[in-house]
């Protein structure tokens, strides 16, 4: 240190001492406090961690009155989990999972109502039975696809159990995001419980000969209509006079449009003939287009994997959908699924086709839970009939598989949870929860006396869901589904805004071809061929046409 | 006291071991202070920027295995994508319309509020409330107001004009654009208002007094005094707003989901869809770079204007 540096240093030191004596912060105090703050970090981490854990903890177990059908189903699920039968999948899962006591499973669920099941029922019950905690990660529906991919790329191991659309299975399996369950199933599951799935749903988690999850949500479209309107003598007479045939629940899409227009002409503005969720992306027009297009014998791809959307079947489908829109409630093209429910429950619409919660809401069963009070009380309870959608081939729109994350550090515990939660007795209690959006999918659900006792027409509702599954169609279970579906949604919503149907079909077909080319035409052809083997891949290849239809009384 | 400290230090002769560290920290203290921020910027900005440059030139698509080098293919995919071109054009049109309307309304409000009047504080507080609301909430609120058949807008308009109004605000051109502009203008006009009001209050009042003595009309004073003096603030407000407006995403996401078709795809919404709905990360990254360059040119021009020295 030379003389000048020494002078500078001493001046600095004395200035610092003076500042210290004046009570001002000095560099030394800064460094000291910075060090203290760093030292506090581990402590803060612990405190914040416990606070976060508390904030995110599942709610206390919420069990129904044991004298109600739901309460009885829940008691039955608990009994099967603790007392057996010993070869039941629920009992086996619980017994095997006890060794993982203290583990926390991170599971993705769609945000909102779907997540209430693991928060209020299945999560707390599982913890009571096994000591395994659950951390429910709520994601928007698109994020249920993108977040697991992002976490897999980052290799974070953030999730153990994933709720995914069956149509995402090929992409997520090939991308290494999920892992097959065959070995664990061979070790733990009761095969009879697999045979309890409706044939349409049984094959959904299977891909390339391996099983990639448990099917867990029967999202079958069905037609819900106002019986009182279809029974109205004056309307029936008027319809007969006008069209020379009786007014009845429509069986074809042309009849559907005609009946909807007739009701609108005669009853608007009190009641309109129909309503549809047509808003872009909410949840998407692709499901409705696909069910009508395939019911009109539309083909998705030709032998060279060229999109066949721009075809007479495509034109016919869009033209009928446009006519149906015109026959519908004002603002039809701006409705999302929830707004459509609201319109139906308020008695403004005579017919809608939508997901199974429609039936539970229309009967006011769902609204018995506070969580679902954003849906209005049904003014049409007891007046709603159930039917297969016109055209005879309803879409199984999305649905859910429970899948095991490939990066899970608790893979076996996660698997056991999935086996338990989808087992016949536990899944029955879950699909009966009024606030949950899980819909019946097992034969034991459709046959359940407890479910059939939930409201006066519940039996008809379950039989209709089963019958719909017999003739139902599946989303395209192949890589690129997200892209193909987005193209259809854009196509439809642009047509609602006056784009010429032929032009819109051509644009969508070009987008489909671009997607196919990007993913590899040959490999996509192989995937498409696999898909076509599934029951429900086309109108002439359904559970019923393959001789596997389930008949219920 | 400081003298005695100096003496004691001198008496010791050689500095204790800690003093060497203290001396070093004394000399490099400013670098130590900025080091965490620099490291943070490097980690969170420079590294992702370099990584994104790499992603733009390889195949980084979740559904396609591997990361093969593809040259300019991703950029070509964006340039030749009609949806991308439309989204860029719409971004330019909506940004220009939003900022122009907000500037005019903000200036009008600022001129009205520059003089004191009873209740001015309260009115100002109410006027700037939209600034504090999340754009997602703004989008949701306007969607509820405009949606058919449940929103009240058409009903109120019907009452005013005396016959049925059946406008599809959220699904039909050109009404969807009016709706998006309405939501944006409602939220961001207060920003223009606040900035321009600050500019107006900084204009010396004696200029107006002198102009009045010279018989200058209010209109002439507005063009000869207010606008020239306010020009830097106008440029500043327009630059800031434009930077924000070209990122328009939230209200689109909530109000229209990009529809009908792709009619309300802005550049941000397009990139989001490609990147996080379809997961074509390479194409989305290439598109982001193109968008960044276009934006940088526009903003660069504005900033040049902003930094141009005042002519005396």
pLDDT digits (tens, 9 = 90+) for B253-301: 999 999 899 999 999 999 999 998 888 899 999 999 999 999 999 888 8
Q: Would you list which residues of chain B are within 8 Å, Cβ to Cβ, of chain A? A: 1-3, 5-6, 9-10, 15, 19, 23, 25-26, 29, 61-65, 147-150, 166, 168-173, 256-263, 273, 276-280
Q: Which residue of B has its CA nearest to A172?
A: B63
* pLDDT value of position B2: 46
Instruction: Please judge whether A175 and B29 are an interchain contact, meaning their C-beta atoms are less than 8 angstroms apart.
Output: no
Residue B301 backbone phi and psi in degrees, to 5: -60, -45
Instruction: Please judge whether A334 and B258 are an interchain contact, meaning their C-beta atoms are less than 8 angstroms apart.
Output: no
Query: Tokens standing for B11?
Result: 């008496």
DSSP A120: I
The three-state secondary structure class of A406 is: coil
Residues 6 or more apart whose Cβ sits within 8 Å of residue A186: none
Residue A15 or A145, more confident: A145
* pLDDT value of position A26: 65
Its sign, for the CA torsion A480, A483, A487, A493, is positive
- How far is it, in rounded angstroms, from Cα A493 to Cα A280? 6
Three-state secondary structure along chain B? CHHHHHHHHHHHCCCCHHHHHHHHHHHHHHHHHHHHHHHHHHHHHHHHHHHHHHHHCECCECCCCCCCECCCHHHHHHHCCHHHHHHHHHHHHHHHHHHHHHHHHHHHHHHHHCCCCCCHHHHHHHHHHHHHCCHHHHHHHHHHHHCCCCCCHHHHHHHHHCCCCCCCCCCCCCHHHHHHHHHHHHHHHHHHHHHHHHHHHCCCHHHHHHHHHCCCCHHHHHHHHHHHHHHHHHHHHHHHHHHHHCCCCHHHHHHCCCCCCCCCCCHHHHHHHHHHHCCEHHHHHHHHHHHHHHHHHHHHHHHHHHHCCCCC
Specify which residues A106 forms β-bridges with: A135
Query: Is A486 touching B (CB cutoff 8 A)?
Result: yes
Residue B2 or A489, more confident: A489
Q: Which residue of B has its CA nearest to A272?
A: B149
Its sign, for the CA torsion A89, A91, A96, A102, is positive
**Residue in B4, B24, B29, B149 to test binding to A, most A beta-carbons within 10 Å:** B149
Confidence of residue A442 (pLDDT cuts 50, 70, 90): very high
Q: Which residue of A has its CA nearest to B273?
A: A486
**Residue in B2, B35, B63 to test binding to A, most A beta-carbons within 10 Å:** B63
Q: Which of A437, A192, A203, A446 is nearest to A337 (CA)?
A: A437
Query: Is A511 touching B (CB cutoff 8 A)?
Result: no
Confidence of residue A54 (pLDDT cuts 50, 70, 90): low
Specify which residues A136 forms β-bridges with: A107
Instruction: Please judge whether B147 and A14 are an interchain contact, meaning their C-beta atoms are less than 8 angstroms apart.
Output: no
- How far is it, in rounded angstroms, from Cα A374 to Cα B34? 51
Distance to chain A for B147, nearest Cα, Å? 7
Distance to chain B for A231, nearest Cα, Å? 27
Q: Which residue of A has its CA nearest to B283?
A: A518
End-to-end CA distance of chain B: 53
DSSP string computed for A455-523: STTHHHHHHHHHHHHHH-EE---STTHHHHHHHHHHHHHHHHTT--HHHHHHHHHHHHHHHHHHH-HHH
Taking the C-alpha atoms of A83, A86, A92 and A94 in order, what is their torsion angle to the nearest 10 degrees? 10
Q: Which of A479, A161, A62, A63 is nearest to A305 (CA)?
A: A479
Distance to chain A for B286, nearest Cα, Å? 16
* pLDDT value of position A44: 67
pLDDT > 50? residue B1: no
Distance to chain B for A484, nearest Cα, Å? 10
Q: Which residue of A has its CA nearest to B171?
A: A334
**Residue in A18, A277, A280, A330 to test binding to B, most B beta-carbons within 10 Å:** A280
* pLDDT value of position B108: 96
The three-state secondary structure class of A541 is: strand
Q: Which residues of B touch A1 (CB under 8 A)?
A: 15, 23
pLDDT > 80? residue B128: yes
Peptide bond into B174 cis (omega under 30): yes
> pLDDT tens-digit profile of B211-265?
999 999 999 999 999 999 999 999 999 999 999 999 999 999 999 999 899 999 9
Q: Which residues of B touch A519 (CB under 8 A)?
A: 63-64
**What ipTM describes this predicted complex?**
0.81
Inter-residue contact A336 to A277 (CB < 8 Å)? yes
Q: Which residues of B touch A520 (CB under 8 A)?
A: 64
Q: Which residues of B touch A278 (CB under 8 A)?
A: 171
Confidence of residue A8 (pLDDT cuts 50, 70, 90): confident
Q: Cβ of A31: how many Cβ atoms within 10 Å? A: 14
DSSP string computed for A221-259: -EEEEEHHHHT-HHHHHHHHHHHSS-----SSHHHHHHH
- How far is it, in rounded angstroms, from Cα B166 to Cα B163? 10
Query: Is A326 touching B (CB cutoff 8 A)?
Result: no
pLDDT > 50? residue A455: yes
Its sign, for the CA torsion A476, A482, A488, A492, is positive
pLDDT > 90? residue A158: yes
Instruction: Please judge whether A331 and B147 are an interchain contact, meaning their C-beta atoms are less than 8 angstroms apart.
Output: yes
**Residue in A167, A331, A374 to test binding to B, most B beta-carbons within 10 Å:** A331
Instruction: Please judge whether B279 and A14 are an interchain contact, meaning their C-beta atoms are less than 8 angstroms apart.
Output: no
Inter-residue contact A277 to A342 (CB < 8 Å)? no
Q: Which residues of B touch A478 (CB under 8 A)?
A: none
pLDDT > 50? residue B3: no
Q: Which residue of B has its CA nearest to A346?
A: B150
Residues 6 or more apart whose Cβ sits within 8 Å of residue A23: none
Q: Which residues of A touch B259 (CB under 8 A)?
A: 279-281, 489-490, 493-494, 497
Long-range contacts of A17-22 (CB under 8 A, 24+ apart): A17/B1, A17/B2, A17/B5, A18/B1, A18/B2, A21/B1
Query: Is A1 touching B (CB cutoff 8 A)?
Result: yes
Instruction: Please judge whether A480 and B63 are an interchain contact, meaning their C-beta atoms are less than 8 angstroms apart.
Output: yes
- How far is it, in rounded angstroms, from Cα A59 to Cα A127? 12
Residues 6 or more apart whose Cβ sits within 8 Å of residue B86: B262, B265
Distance to chain A for B61, nearest Cα, Å? 10
Q: Which residue of A has its CA nearest to B73?
A: A518
* pLDDT value of position A517: 94
Instruction: Please judge whether B173 and A21 are an interchain contact, meaning their C-beta atoms are less than 8 angstroms apart.
Output: no
Distance to chain A for B62, nearest Cα, Å? 7
**Residue in B261, B262, B278 to test binding to A, most A beta-carbons within 10 Å:** B261
Q: Cβ of B222: how many Cβ atoms within 10 Å? A: 14
Q: Which of B253, B221, B234 is nearest to B305 (CA)?
A: B234
Helices vs. strands in chain A: H and E counts, helices first: 26, 14
Which of A149, A334, A497 shows the shortest C-beta gap to B173?
A: A497
Angle between helices B175-201 and B227-245 (to 10 degrees): 140
Output the average pLDDT for chain A: 92
Query: Is A249 touching B (CB cutoff 8 A)?
Result: no
Which of A149, A331, A496 shows the shortest C-beta gap to B148?
A: A331
Inter-residue contact A487 to A511 (CB < 8 Å)? yes
Peptide bond into A85 cis (omega under 30): yes
Query: Is A284 touching B (CB cutoff 8 A)?
Result: no
Query: Tokens standing for A280?
Result: 């872009």
- How far is it, in rounded angstroms, from Cα A112 to Cα A371? 9
Instruction: Please judge whether B2 and A18 are an interchain contact, meaning their C-beta atoms are less than 8 angstroms apart.
Output: yes
Confidence of residue B7 (pLDDT cuts 50, 70, 90): very low
Confidence of residue A372 (pLDDT cuts 50, 70, 90): confident
Distance to chain B for A367, nearest Cα, Å? 21
Instruction: Please judge whether A282 and B257 are an interchain contact, meaning their C-beta atoms are less than 8 angstroms apart.
Output: yes
Confidence of residue B173 (pLDDT cuts 50, 70, 90): confident
HSE-up (13 A, CA, CB side) for residue A282: 27
Q: Which residues of A touch B263 (CB under 8 A)?
A: 494, 497
| Displacement of CA B66 from its chain's centroid (Å) | 37
| Displacement of CA A341 from its chain's centroid (Å) | 17
In b/e form, how buried is each residue of B75-86, taking b as 16+ CB within 10 angstroms?
bebbeebebbeb
Q: Across residues B112-121, what is the average pLDDT?
A: 91
Peptide bond into A283 cis (omega under 30): yes
Output the average pLDDT for chain B: 89
* pLDDT value of position B21: 80
Which of B62, B166, B279 shows the shortest C-beta gap to A330?
A: B166
Percentage of chain B lying above the pLDDT 70 cut: 93
- How far is it, in rounded angstroms, from Cα A58 to Cα A133? 9
Peptide bond into A353 cis (omega under 30): no
**Which residue is associated with the tokens 């159990």?**
A161
pLDDT > 50? residue B312: no
**Which residue is associated with the tokens 């999109």?**
A307
**Residue in B28, B55, B62 to test binding to A, most A beta-carbons within 10 Å:** B62
Q: Which residues of B touch A486 (CB under 8 A)?
A: 273, 277-278
Q: Across residues B21-48, what is the average pLDDT?
A: 87
Q: Which residues of A touch B65 (CB under 8 A)?
A: 174
Q: Give the number of A-B residue pairs with CB atoms closer than 8 Å.
A: 126
């Amino acid at each position: 240190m030379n003389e000048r540096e020494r002078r500078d240093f001493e001046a600095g030191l004395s200035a610092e001492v003076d500042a210290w004596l004046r009570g001002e912060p000095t560099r030394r105090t800064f460094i000291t406090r910075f060090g203290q703050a760093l030292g506090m970090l581990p402590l803060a981490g612990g405190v914040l961690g416990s606070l976060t854990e508390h904030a995110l903890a599942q709610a206390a177990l919420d069990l129904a009155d044991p004298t109600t059908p739901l309460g009885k189903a829940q008691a039955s699920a608990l009994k099967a989990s603790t007392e057996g039968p010993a070869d039941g999948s629920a009992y086996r899962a619980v017994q095997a999972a006890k060794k993982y006591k203290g583990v926390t499973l991170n599971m993705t669920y769609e945000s909102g109502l779907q997540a209430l099941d693991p928060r209020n029922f299945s999560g707390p019950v599982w913890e009571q039975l096994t000591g395994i905690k659950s951390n429910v990660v709520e994601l928007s529906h698109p994020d249920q696809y993108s977040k697991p991919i992002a976490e897999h790329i980052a290799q974070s191991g953030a999730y153990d159990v994933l709720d995914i659309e069956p149509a995402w299975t090929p992409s997520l399996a090939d991308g290494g995001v999920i892992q097959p369950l065959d070995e664990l199933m061979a070790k733990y599951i009761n095969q009879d419980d697999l045979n309890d799935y409706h044939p349409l749903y049984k094959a959904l988690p299977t891909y390339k000969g391996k099983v990639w999850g448990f099917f867990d949500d029967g999202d079958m479209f069905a037609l819900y209509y106002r019986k009182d309107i279809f029974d109205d003598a004056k309307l029936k007479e008027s319809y007969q006079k006008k069209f020379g045939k009786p007014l009845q629940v429509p069986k074809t899409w042309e009849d559907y449009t005609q009946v909807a227009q007739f009701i609108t002409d005669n009853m608007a503005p009190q009641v309109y003939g129909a309503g549809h969720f047509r808003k872009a992306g909410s949840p998407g027009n692709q499901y409705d287009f696909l069910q009508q297009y395939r019911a009109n014998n539309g083909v998705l791809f030709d032998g060279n994997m060229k999109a066949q959307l721009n075809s007479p079947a495509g034109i016919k489908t869009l033209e009928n959908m446009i006519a149906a829109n015109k026959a519908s409630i004002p603002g039809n093209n701006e409705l999302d699924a929830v707004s459509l429910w609201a319109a139906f429950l308020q008695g403004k619409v005579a017919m809608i086709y939508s997901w199974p919660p429609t039936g539970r809401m229309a009967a006011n069963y769902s609204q018995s839970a506070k969580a679902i009070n954003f849906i209005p009380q049904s003014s049409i309870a007891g007046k709603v009939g159930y039917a297969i959608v016109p055209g005879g081939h309803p879409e199984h729109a999305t649905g859910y598989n429970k899948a095991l994350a490939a990066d899970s550090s608790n893979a076996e515990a996660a698997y056991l949870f999935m086996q338990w939660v989808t087992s016949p007795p536990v899944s029955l209690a879950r699909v009966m929860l009024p606030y949950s959006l899980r819909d019946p999918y097992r034969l034991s659900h459709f046959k359940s006396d407890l479910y059939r006792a939930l409201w006066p027409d519940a039996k008809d509702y379950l039989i209709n869901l089963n019958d719909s599954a017999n003739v139902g169609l599946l989303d395209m279970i192949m890589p690129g589904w997200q892209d193909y579906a987005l193209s259809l949604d854009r196509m439809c919503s642009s047509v609602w805004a006056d784009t010429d149907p032929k032009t819109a079909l051509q644009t969508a077909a070009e987008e489909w071809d671009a997607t196919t080319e990007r993913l590899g035409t040959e490999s996509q052809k192989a995937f498409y061929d696999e898909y076509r083997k599934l029951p429900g891949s086309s109108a002439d290849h359904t559970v019923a046409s393959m001789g596997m239809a389930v008949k219920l009384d | 006291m400081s003298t005695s400290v100096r003496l004691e230090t001198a008496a010791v002769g050689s500095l204790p071991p800690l003093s060497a560290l203290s001396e070093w920290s004394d000399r490099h203290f400013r670098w130590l202070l900025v080091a965490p921020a620099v490291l943070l910027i490097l980690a969170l900005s420079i590294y992702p920027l370099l990584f994104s440059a790499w992603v733009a030139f390889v195949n980084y698509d979740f559904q396609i295995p591997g990361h093969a080098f593809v040259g300019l293919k991703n950029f070509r995919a964006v340039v030749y994508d009609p949806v991308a071109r439309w989204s860029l054009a719409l971004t330019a049109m909506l940004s220009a319309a939003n900022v122009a309307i907000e500037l005019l309304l903000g200036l009008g409000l600022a001129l009205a509020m520059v003089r004191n009047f009873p209740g001015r504080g309260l009115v100002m507080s109410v006027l700037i409330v939209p600034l504090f609301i999340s754009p997602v909430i703004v989008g949701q609120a306007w969607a509820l107001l405009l949606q058919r058949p449940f929103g009240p807008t058409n009903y109120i308009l019907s009452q005013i004009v005396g016959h049925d109004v059946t406008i599809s605000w959220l699904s039909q051109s050109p009404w969807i654009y009016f709706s998006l502009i309405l939501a944006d203008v409602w939220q961001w006009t207060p920003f223009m208002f606040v900035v321009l009001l600050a500019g107006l209050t900084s204009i010396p009042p004696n200029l107006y007094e002198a102009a009045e003595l010279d018989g200058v009309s209010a209109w002439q004073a507005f063009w000869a005094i207010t606008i020239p003096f306010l020009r830097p603030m106008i440029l500043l407000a327009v630059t800031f707003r434009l930077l924000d407006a070209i990122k328009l995403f939230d209200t689109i996401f909530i109000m229209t989901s990009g529809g009908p078709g792709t009619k309300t795809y802005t550049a941000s919404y397009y990139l989001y869809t490609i990147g996080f709905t379809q997961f074509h990360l390479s194409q989305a990254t290439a598109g982001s770079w193109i968008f960044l360059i276009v934006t940088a040119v526009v903003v660069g021009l504005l900033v040049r204007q902003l930094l141009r020295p005042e002519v005396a």
